[in-house]
Amino acid sequence: MQKFPVSLALAVLFLFAAFPAVPSQAQVTQEDLAQRVTKAQFAFRDFQRDARMTWFRQNVRYAKGLLIMPVLLKGGFFVGGSGGKGVLLAQDSAGTWSHPAFYDVASGSFGLQFGAAGGQVILMIMTERGLRRFLRDKFQLGAEASIGMGPEGIGAKAEIFDIFSFARIQGLFAGVAIEGGVVAINRADNQTYYGQPKVSPRDILLRRKFKNEQADPLIKILTEASR
């Protein structure tokens, strides 16, 4: 029988240790989700105040949507991975922002990566094609929607990407490789937050059928940033 490599066992143990325990879906309450929306508001404010985010600030008004992940976790020891829970709001042609839809994002990588880091990530969706991808149950960034990393290196290439990722990271990792990550709708969170049995991102983001006044402060700060 082939022995399980000790180094791989240590890698797996380290990766799981890097991620704090996450409550099961049954434990997620409307209050928990309200806190996530509030944290998304604070995260967006942090991006607005960051001196490196000039391009971000100048182009919020042109974005089709923003997926805000208040906390993205990344850990690794030969094996690395990242994941986060976020809220997506869409902007229509009149500059009006929708209420939030809830998503999960997960990605993995392999290589010499040591340490663990937590940070804030915002995906700025710049095209209708990119926004439509978020209406699917799940899709892969880079494969089904082109993604570039900001704020450095955007320049003249801005028009060739559907999505840009912006990160504010604390720790040993200088950045976050989002390409290849899987974005999935969290239907249970959407149902819990809006208190309805059937809530789709299309109804939240495009048809604007569902609202929760708890998200009004987040919508307000996005509206002000888009002027």
Tokens for 135? 């209406």
Q: Which residue has the higher pLDDT, 7 or 200?
A: 200
User: What distances in angstroms separate CA 89 from CA 60, 70, 101, 103, 138, one per listed residue?
Assistant: 12, 14, 7, 11, 17
Q: Which residue has the higher pLDDT, 104 or 6?
A: 104
Cα gap 145→101, rounded to integer Å: 19
Q: Which residue has the tokens 């850990």?
A: 75
- In the predicted model, what is the mean pLDDT of residues 121-150? 90
Query: Would you say residue 84 has pLDDT above 70?
Result: yes
Cα gap 121→68, rounded to integer Å: 6
| pLDDT confidence tier of residue 109, bands split at 50, 70 and 90 | low
Is the CB of residue 216 less than 8 Å from the CB of residue 38?
Answer: no
Quick one: pLDDT at residue 110?
43
Query: Would you say residue 18 has pLDDT above 50?
Result: no
Q: Which residue has the higher pLDDT, 28 or 19?
A: 28
- In the predicted model, what is the mean pLDDT of residues 139-164? 75
Identify which of 9-18, 160-169, 192-201 has the greatest average pLDDT. Answer: 192-201
- In the predicted model, what is the mean pLDDT of residues 20-34? 72
Nearest Cα neighbor of 70 from 99, 34, 95, 96 is 34
H or E segment at 219? Answer: helix 216-225
Query: Would you say residue 80 has pLDDT above 80?
Result: no
- In the predicted model, what is the mean pLDDT of residues 75-96? 80
- In the predicted model, what is the mean pLDDT of residues 181-199? 95
Query: Would you say residue 12 has pLDDT above 50?
Result: no
User: What distances in angstroms separate CA 217 from CA 165, 177, 222, one per listed residue?
Assistant: 23, 30, 9
pTM for the predicted model, two decimal places: 0.82
The amino acid sitting at 36 is R
Nearest Cα neighbor of 155 from 70, 55, 6, 39 is 55
Tokens for 81? 């991975």
Quick one: pLDDT at residue 170?
65
Q: Tell me the domain boundaries of the chain.
A: 6-18+29-225
User: For a pLDDT cut of 90, what percent of the chain falls above it?
Assistant: 54
Is the CB of residue 96 less than 8 Å from the CB of residue 138?
Answer: no
Quick one: pLDDT at residue 117?
56
What is the DSSP pairing of strand 182-185 with strand 138-140?
antiparallel
3-state secondary structure of 124: strand
